[in-house]
Amino acid sequence: METLINETEYKDGFNRGYWLLNYEPDVAKLLMESSKDKTDEFSIGFSEGMRQAQQEKTLNEFEQLRNNNEQQQDLER
């Protein structure tokens, strides 16, 4: 039963970290700073959810840059 509770806490933290970084990044970063030394499941999930959201944002930015570069090269031809 404890494993289920821990998994639930982790998922809740992950989802909240992911959502906050996408929609309220300043709030997410403040919360992360205030809880960076915590090792409970919620805090770990929160941190990893933020990391996942940041990785996806970075990947999307790279894809946009690549698409813009390809469009610019097509225009120059």
- The structural domain count of the chain equals 1
DSSP string, 17-37: HHHHHHH-HHHHHHHHHHTTT
Buried b (16+ CB within 10 A) or exposed e, 5-35: eeeebbeebbebbbebbeeeeeebeebbeeb
0.85 cut: is pTM over it? no
Q: Residue 34's domain spans which residues?
A: 2-76
Per-residue pLDDT tens over the stretch 46-76: 999 999 999 999 999 999 988 887 777 666 6
Does pLDDT of 35 surpass 70? yes
